[in-house]
Amino acid sequence: NAGVMQNPRHLVRRRGQEARLRCSPMKGHSHVYWYRQLPEEGLKFMVYLQKENIIDESGMPKERFSAEFPKEGPSILRIQQVVRGDSAAYFCASSYRSALYGYTFGSGTRLTVV
Amino acid sequence: AQTVTQSQPEMSVQEAETVTLSCTYDTSESDYYLFWYKQPPSRQMILVIRQEAYKQQNATENRFSVNFQKAAKSFSLKISDSQLGDAAMYFCAYRGVKTSYDKVIFGPGTSLSVIP
């Protein structure tokens, strides 16, 4: 049973380009969470999704960032017109029902904006 | 709003010795869950241990145990017989049961070094 799969593991984008980060949750998990980790900092919540629905996006910047979790396929975190400040590790986590039992995390995508 | 604080940015321990990592949190909720996650250099986040606030008994997982003091809002992690593989960032985390939004709040982390 594969864990949470994130790709790519590393992503380099020039300022102004778009970044698309993918996350496939564990089999049977319908809850997906995205977190951002800046250097030397902890994880900051961005968005919580269930299939085809955004449940909580209170941690996501209002502009340039969007997330989806379609009926078929992985969850996508999309960052448009990236800036240097977007450089961070982005982690996806999934859970079966809710976060009460703890998440299963992916290995993260390290985004570097040059 | 709930917050999680880890006052020790860095800690070190001699191999085979015991170390305790501190965590405090702030909440107005009476029912919640607390977690410790480990992040080794590979960056993979690994759930180490989980504690339900309504349980008085401290959780244990092999060499890992917690000291949960609900009144003090303290949740420390004790690692016994430390091994080189324990070297990692450790994050304390909180999740309220009745919180409207289903998310886990993380502390800033403690970097643990294990000295051979």
pLDDT of A1 > 80? The answer is no
**What are B64-75's pLDDT values in tens digits?**
999 999 999 999
Mean per-residue pLDDT, A8-21: 98
Q: Which residue has the higher pLDDT, A89 or A100?
A: A89
Instruction: List, as one string, the DSSP characters of chain A.
Output: ----EEE-SEEEE-TT--EEEEEEPPTT--EEEEEEE-TTS-EEEEEEEETTEEEE-TTS-SSSEEEE--SSS-EEEEE-S--GGG-EEEEEEEESS-GGG--EE---EEEEE-
pLDDT of A2 > 80? The answer is no
State the best of B104, B106, B110, B111 to mutate against chain A, taking most chain A CBs within 10 Å: B104
Mean per-residue pLDDT, A26-47: 89
- Residue A19 pairs in a beta bridge with A79
Name the amino acid, one letter, at A31: H
| Residue-level pLDDT at B64 | 97
**Which residues from B are below 8 Å from A when comparing CB atoms?**
33, 35, 37, 42-47, 50, 91, 95, 97, 101-109
Which of the residues in chain B have pLDDT under 70? 99-102
Q: A32 to chain B: which residues are within 8 Å by CB?
A: none
